[in-house]
C-alpha cells in the first residue's frame, strides 16, 4: 500500500455503503475535488445523491464489485460489516482497500477484537468466548455474574447483547441470542463513556482528535460533548491507546475507539469501529479538519490534516421525528445543522445531527 502514489484530485474514491457516513464522506471528498462512487444495495440512498457514480448492488455481488473496481482508484467503507469476500475480490482486481482486511477482521468479531486489543497493550474488561451453551455457562462462571453476553459477530446500537444476571441464566441467554458464538464480558464500572477519534496516513503518520464524552440512550448515541473535560494524563492515555491500535492494525484511515473511564482514571477500550464514527461528528464544526476529510485524506494517501479543536461542541443526534424540528433548529444561532436526506423518519433512526458550538 505505501507504493501507491497520493491520488490527485479528480480521482474516484469508492465507498461501500450509502448511508449518512458515506454521504458525509462523499461531501468531504467533493470539497477536495474527488469524485465518489457508491456501492449500495438500496436505490436512492443518502450517499448516492451526492456522488458522481452509483452502483446499486449487494456488497458482495461480483458484478457490482467489478464495476466499482473499474471506477475507483481506492475503496473505503462506511460500516464494519463489509464481507471479507468483497474485500478479497476488490484486492484481487488490484484495488487498494483502506482500512485494510486486518482491521475489518478484528472489528467483525468481538473476541478477535478484544484479543487484538489486549495483545497490543490496549486494556479491556475481562472476557471469554463461548461457542456452545455449556461453554457459555462456564464463561459466565469464570467472568462472574452479572456479565454481558454478546454475539461475536453483527449487532450494533445495543442489538445482539444481553445481561446475564446469574451463572444459572447463561444457557437461557445463550439460546435467546440465537445459540451462536458469543463473548462474555465483565461489566465495566465506569465513571464516563469517552471516545477517541484518530487517523493514520499511508505514510504511518498519526493524528488524534481531542476526547469526546458520550451519552447513550437505549443503546443509541444521544449526545457527545467535546473536547471532553480531561487531564493531560487522561488524554495521554487515550493517545497511547489510539497509537497502539492504529499501528497494531497497520491502519489507514480514521478509526473510532470507544473507551470506558474507570473511577480511578484508567481507560479501558470498549470497542473500535474501523471507520468515521458518530462520536466524531462534532469535529465538523469543532476541529481544524474534520474526521470525514481526514478519512478521505488518509485513504487517498494525502498528508493528514490538523486535529486541534476550534470550538466546544455539544453534538446531538436527531432520531426519527426529532429531525422535523429543522425550522426551530435553524433559528438557533449556535446550532449547525447536518441532515442526511433519509426519506422516512422511522422511530430511533438517525436522521441527522446538530452541533451546538461555543467558543473554546
Which residues of this protein are in contact with its own copies, per CB under 8 A? Answer: 6, 8-10, 23, 26-27, 30-35, 48-52, 288-289, 297, 302-303, 305-306, 310-311, 323, 326-327, 330-331, 333, 336-341, 343, 352, 357
Phi and psi, residue 29, nearest 5°: -65, -40
**What's the longest Cα–Cα distance across the chain?**
60
Cα–Cα distance list, 325 to 218, 337, 342 (Å):
22, 11, 15
Which CB sits closer to its own copies, 241 or 289?
Answer: 289
CB 240 within 8 A of CB 232: no
Which CB sits closer to its own copies, 129 or 313?
Answer: 313
Compute the distance between CA of residue 191 and CA of residue 263 in angstroms, rounded to an integer: 5
Which CB sits closer to its own copies, 48 or 67?
Answer: 48
Compute the distance between CA of residue 161 and CA of residue 277 in angstroms, rounded to an integer: 20
CB 298 within 8 A of CB 344: no
Min CB(303)–its own copies separation in Å = 5
Min CB(336)–its own copies separation in Å = 7
Min CB(330)–its own copies separation in Å = 5
Min CB(26)–its own copies separation in Å = 7
Min CB(24)–its own copies separation in Å = 8
Which CB sits closer to its own copies, 167 or 351?
Answer: 351
Which CB sits closer to its own copies, 233 or 327?
Answer: 327
**How far does Cα 53 stand from its chain's mean position?**
24
Cα–Cα distance list, 38 to 30, 31, 45, 75, 111 (Å):
13, 17, 9, 10, 30
Task: Sort 310 into a burial class: Cβ within 10 Å, 0-12 / 13-18 / 19+.
Answer: middle
| Residue whose C-alpha cell is 461501500 | 16
Which CB sits closer to its own copies, 23 or 223?
Answer: 23
Which CB sits closer to its own copies, 112 or 310?
Answer: 310
Compute the distance between CA of residue 164 and CA of residue 360 in angstroms, rounded to an integer: 43
Min CB(224)–its own copies separation in Å = 18
Which CB sits closer to its own copies, 158 or 306?
Answer: 306
Min CB(178)–its own copies separation in Å = 36
Cα–Cα distance list, 187 to 95, 149, 150, 226, 334 (Å):
41, 10, 12, 25, 37
Which CB sits closer to its own copies, 188 or 339?
Answer: 339
Q: Cell for 356?
A: 451546538
Q: Cell for 55?
A: 452502483
Min CB(271)–its own copies separation in Å = 28
Min CB(34)–its own copies separation in Å = 7
Q: Residue 262: which residues within 8 A CB-CB, separation 6 or more? A: 188, 189, 190, 191, 268
Amino acid at each position: 500500500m505505501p507504493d501507491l502514489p497520493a491520488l490527485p484530485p479528480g480521482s474516484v474514491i469508492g465507498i461501500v455503503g450509502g448511508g449518512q457516513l458515506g454521504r458525509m464522506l462523499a461531501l468531504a471528498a467533493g470539497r477536495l475535488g474527488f469524485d465518489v462512487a457508491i456501492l449500495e444495495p438500496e436505490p436512492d440512498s443518502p450517499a448516492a445523491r451526492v456522488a458522481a457514480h452509483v452502483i446499486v448492488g449487494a456488497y458482495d455481488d461480483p458484478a457490482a464489485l467489478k464495476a466499482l473496481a473499474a471506477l475507483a482508484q481506492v475503496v473505503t467503507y462506511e460500516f464494519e460489516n463489509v464481507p471479507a469476500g468483497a474485500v478479497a475480490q476488490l484486492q484481487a482486481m488490484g484495488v487498494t482497500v483502506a482500512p485494510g482486511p486486518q482491521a475489518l477482521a478484528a472489528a467483525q468479531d468481538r473476541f478477535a477484537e478484544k484479543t487484538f486489543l489486549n495483545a497490543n497493550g490496549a486494556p479491556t474488561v475481562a472476557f471469554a468466548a463461548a461457542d456452545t451453551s455449556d461453554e457459555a455457562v462456564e464463561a459466565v462462571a469464570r467472568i462472574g455474574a452479572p456479565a454481558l453476553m454478546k454475539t461475536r459477530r453483527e449487532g450494533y446500537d445495543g442489538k445482539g447483547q444481553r445481561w446475564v444476571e446469574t451463572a444459572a441464566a447463561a444457557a437461557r441467554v445463550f439460546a435467546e441470542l440465537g445459540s451462536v458464538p458469543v463473548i462474555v464480558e465483565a461489566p465495566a464500572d465506569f465513571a464516563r463513556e469517552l471516545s477517541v477519534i484518530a487517523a493514520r496516513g499511508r505514510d504511518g503518520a498519526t493524528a488524534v482528535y481531542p476526547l469526546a464524552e458520550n451519552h447513550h440512550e437505549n443503546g443509541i448515541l444521544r449526545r457527545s460533548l467535546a473536547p471532553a473535560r480531561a487531564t493531560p494524563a487522561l488524554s495521554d492515555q487515550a493517545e497511547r491507546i489510539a497509537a497502539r491500535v492504529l499501528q497494531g492494525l497497520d491502519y489507514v484511515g480514521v478509526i473510532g475507539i470507544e473507551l470506558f473511564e474507570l473511577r480511578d482514571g484508567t481507560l479501558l477500550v470498549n470497542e473500535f469501529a474501523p471507520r468515521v464514527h458518530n462520536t466524531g461528528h462534532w469535529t465538523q464544526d469543532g476541529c481544524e479538519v474534520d474526521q470525514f476529510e481526514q478519512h478521505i485524506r488518509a485513504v487517498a494517501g494525502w498528508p493528514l490534516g490538523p486535529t486541534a479543536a476550534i470550538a466546544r461542541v455539544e453534538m446531538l443526534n436527531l432520531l426519527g421525528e426529532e429531525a422535523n424540528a429543522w425550522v426551530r433548529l435553524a433559528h438557533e444561532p449556535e446550532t449547525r445543522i447536518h441532515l442526511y436526506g433519509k426519506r422516512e423518519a422511522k422511530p430511533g433512526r438517525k436522521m441527522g445531527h446538530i452541533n451546538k458550538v461555543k467558543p473554546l
